[in-house]
Amino acid sequence: MQTIGPVIAWAAGQQEIMKIDLSKAFHAIPIADDQMNYYAFMGMDGTTYRYIRMPMGAMCAPKHFAVVMMKVLGQLSDNDKTAVRSYQDDIIVAGKNRKECADRYHRVIRHLCEYGFKINREKSSMNTKLIILGYEFTKESIGIPKDKAEQIRKLLRSQCVDGITRATHQLSYYKMIHRTGVRNSLTKIRQILQKTKHVTNVVKDLIDAVDSSWTIERIRPTEGNTISIYVDASDTQAGMVVKYNEQTVMTESIPLTKTLTNLASYKEIQGAYKLLAKYKSAIDFIDKRASKII
């Protein structure tokens, strides 16, 4: 099952996007007769009940739902299925302009309804301002929704160890909009708080460093899809920046093992190989058909 990051990265590189949200999506999936006994439970009155539709609480439900959704969306026409991504019951539809996106949006809804899915009309949206998997997309920016950002900022400035720790975890979710330095600072804050159990001056300085607007500029792509991968390395670490249609969508780094040579070219090759091996599936998911430049 794909993680959230590549889905957000794909959405960030699109000209226009709209969102479809499903209502009680798991319940649209029937359970096979020979599997129903695994979803049985006993009520307070001693009566045994069995689910005939996929319950949300089942451990296998998210993975099974993702497989079903992949097959359902895979039945779309080629032009449509390459412009649609999903994560659980959130479906993102893209287009080169508003009309193309809107037409595709309605086609995908009809397609989902044919397979028995119900659309959550309140959460589905064709607006230019969207909340997608926790990120706020506007015409100009990608960031944290205002209410959520204020909640996190309040915890971050609370002087409470548990509150600050929770805030750093919440901020870490939005990794696409943070520079590597900010992400490292969030980790450092947690490490210090776990060790000292109180808010030190170093923690306060790190909080000042990470307390920013928490948004990035949204860059609208030109014609053609391109993934540009930039790799650099030092003696101890390699870093990678991935841009999809000029929008920075991934920033990752890994430590490098010691070698007999410190040649910069060798370090870059070693770093590039390790980074691409680790994140290949995520990069492919963003857009497998896009031309790639390293």
Residuewise pLDDT in 10s, the chain (294 residues): 668 989 999 999 999 999 999 999 888 888 888 888 888 888 888 899 999 998 887 888 888 889 999 999 999 999 999 999 999 889 999 999 999 999 999 999 999 999 999 999 999 999 999 999 999 999 999 999 999 999 999 999 999 999 999 999 999 999 999 988 899 999 999 999 999 999 999 999 999 999 988 999 998 777 678 899 998 888 788 889 999 988 989 888 888 876 656 665 677 788 788 888 899 988 988 888 888 888
Contact 11, 291 (CB under 8 A): no
For residue 108, count other CB atoms closer than 10 A to its CB.
Answer: 23
Q: What is the pLDDT of residue 231?
A: 86
Per-domain residue ranges for the chain?
4-137, 146-216, 226-293
Q: Are both 4-137 and 226-293 of the same fold?
A: no
- CB–CB of 39/55 below 8 Å? yes
Q: Can you list the positions of beta strands (E) in 160-283?
A: 215-217, 226-233, 237-244, 247-255
CATH number of 226-293: 3.10.20
pLDDT at site 264: 59
- HSE at residue 28, side-chain half, CA atoms within 13 A, is 19
Domain spanning 4-137: which superfamily?
Reverse transcriptase/Diguanylate cyclase domain (3.30.70.270)
Question: pLDDT, tens digit, for every residue of 158-183?
Answer: 999 999 999 999 999 999 999 888 99
Closest CA to 50 of 22, 30, 69, 67: 30
**Segment holding 95, helix H or strand E:** strand 90-95
Rounded to whole angstroms, the Cα distance separating 124 from 23 reads 10
Closest CA to 22 of 118, 87, 126: 118
pLDDT at 291: 87
pLDDT at 58: 82
Q: Please report which residue ranges of 143-200 form alpha helices under DSSP H.
A: 146-156, 161-173, 180-196
Q: Which pLDDT score, from 0 to 100, does residue 262 have?
A: 61
Span 74-132, pLDDT tens digits: 999 999 999 999 998 899 999 999 999 999 999 999 999 999 999 999 999 999 999 99
pLDDT given for residue 260 in this prediction: 59
Is residue 173 exposed (0-12), middle (13-18) or buried (19+ Cβ within 10 Å)?
middle
